[in-house]
Structure 1
Amino acid sequence: MKLIASLTSPYARKVRIVLQEKRIECPLAVDIPWNADSKVVDVNPLGKVPVLVLDDGSTLFDSRVIVEYLDHVSPVAKLIPNDYRHAIQVKRWEALADGICDAAAIIFLERKRMPEQQSQDWIKRQEAKITRGLQSLAEDLGENSWCNGESYSLADIAVGACLGYLDFRFAEITWRSSYPNLARLADKLAQRPAFADTVPQA
């Protein structure tokens, strides 16, 4: 098995954290899809990371598919509940966190365009998604210890990777002061080795 990923991707970070929490040994091959010499399209027709290459040469993508697969191949540290209703709630957290990352990534890429080509209306639309998404995360978390209640799960991993990406790329978003409960969760997650070992790197 091999993981093809970028060190800055929040989706790849989510997978890398899951691998560590599940104690699954998996080599990491760094590939930046935007680089001219990228080989990502050879393993994912969509040209996106992360991609998990299995032992038989087949591939899995995107991150949500990969983490669900990983949670089933190892019994260690179950991250998605067996109960269907609870599992759906965890996947909902993941979808919301990934959606915030989607909007943030769109802004990041739009800002890389020439200034005269950038659409401020498009950027504002994505910023509004981030604002609403963070508000929803904070409201859903409330005073709970973990996203899905009283136990650590994939929901916390997804949210933690999302918040870490905002810290990395969007320091101007003051989510920590606006949502202290999310800040407490992020600080608690940062103490876990799997999070400390996967902090985004430029």
Structure 2
Amino acid sequence: MILRSAPPSPFGRKVEIAASVLGLSDRIDIVPADTNSESDPLRGQNPLGKVPTLVLDDGQSLFDSRVILEYLDHLAGGDRIIPRASDARFAALRLQALCDGILDASILRIYEARYRPEPIRHQPWLDYQADKVRRALQTLEAEPQALDPLPHVGQITLACALGYQDLRFGGTWRASHPRLVQWLERFAAQVPAFEQTRIAP
């Protein structure tokens, strides 16, 4: 299989970490993608032109990260990173959705600054996105997070969401979220792929 991704992508990082914890890394070749290039094959592999995209052995493509993680869990036998029992399953999926929301809002903040000249940046929009992240992190800080021996999709996504705050926002979240800092330290110690996929700011 081929994973089209880019090193800064937290969603691509999700897939790489999931593949590692499931023991599937050796079945996936990672091929960098340039989402801005019309000549990159990515747009033929995924009409949305987004990463991550997983190209299967038969040439079919899967996207986005949630679908790819579900496929990898299926490939590994199921009930590994996506629990089968309903209570555990929906708790994991809920956490994944919350942390995907943190990432979506964070990326919108980056894009606003990257693609709009400063005179036309819309500060209320930036504040709106930042407030989503603030509320979500407050909620997570108030509810101590578990860490399963084999992290589930929600825990993997939480680690990537916090890592992205370090990458793009200078780790400013850390001072007011000590429980999450400790949780991320435990995740990093337990899951070597977290450090292996980290890139410097």
Q: TM-score, normalised by structure 1?
A: 0.91
Which stretch shifts more, 192-201 or 43-52?
Answer: 192-201
Q: CA deviation at 1:154?
A: 1.8
User: C-alpha root-mean-square deviation of aligned residues, in Å?
Assistant: 1.9
Residue matched to 1:166: 165
Whole-angstrom CA distance in 1 between matches of 2:99 and 2:159: 9
Residue number in structure 2 paired with 1:153: 152
Structure 2 residue 41 is the aligned partner of structure 1 residue 42: no
SS at match of 1:157: helix
Contact 1:40 1:48 (8 Å CA) reproduced: yes
The answer (yes or no) to whether the contact 1:9–1:200 under 8 Å persists in 2 is no
CA distance in 2, matches of 1:145, 1:44: 35
Q: Any idea what the Cα deviations from partners look like across 1:29-56, whole Å, max 9, x if unmatched?
A: 0113134543321111111100000111
- Please name the residue that 1:68 is paired with: 70
**Match for residue 188 of structure 2 among 163, 187, 190:** 190
Give CA deviations for 1:154-186 in whole Å, capped at 9, x if unaligned: 221100001000100001x52212111100111
Question: How many residue pairs end up in the alignment?
Answer: 197
The DSSP-based 3-state class of the residue aligned with 2:51 is coil
Aligned-partner residue type, residue 14 of structure 2: K
Match of 1:178 in 2: 176
Structure 1: which amino acid aligns with 2:32? V
Identify the residue that residue 120 of structure 2 maps to in structure 1. Answer: 117
In structure 1, list runs of 5 or more residues that go unmatched.
Answer: none
Quote the Cα distance in structure 1 between the aligned partners of 2:22 and 2:54.
15
Q: Contact between 1:22 and 1:76, CA under 8 Å: does it hold in 2? A: no
Q: TM-score, normalised by structure 2?
A: 0.91
Which AA in structure 2 matches 1:62? D
How far apart are 1:97 and its partner, in Å? Answer: 0.5
Residue aligned with 2:15, SS: helix
For 2:89, what is the secondary structure of its paired residue? helix
| Letter in structure 1 aligned against 2:52 | P
- Cα distance in 1 for partners of 2:53, 2:38 equals 18
- Whether the aligned pair in 2 keeps the contact of 1:7 and 1:201 (CA below 8 Å) is no
- State the shift of 1:201 in Å: 5.1
Give the helix-richer structure, 1 or 2: 2
User: Where does structure 2 lack aligned partners over 5 or more consecutive residues?
Assistant: none
Tell me the SS of whatever aligns to 2:187: helix
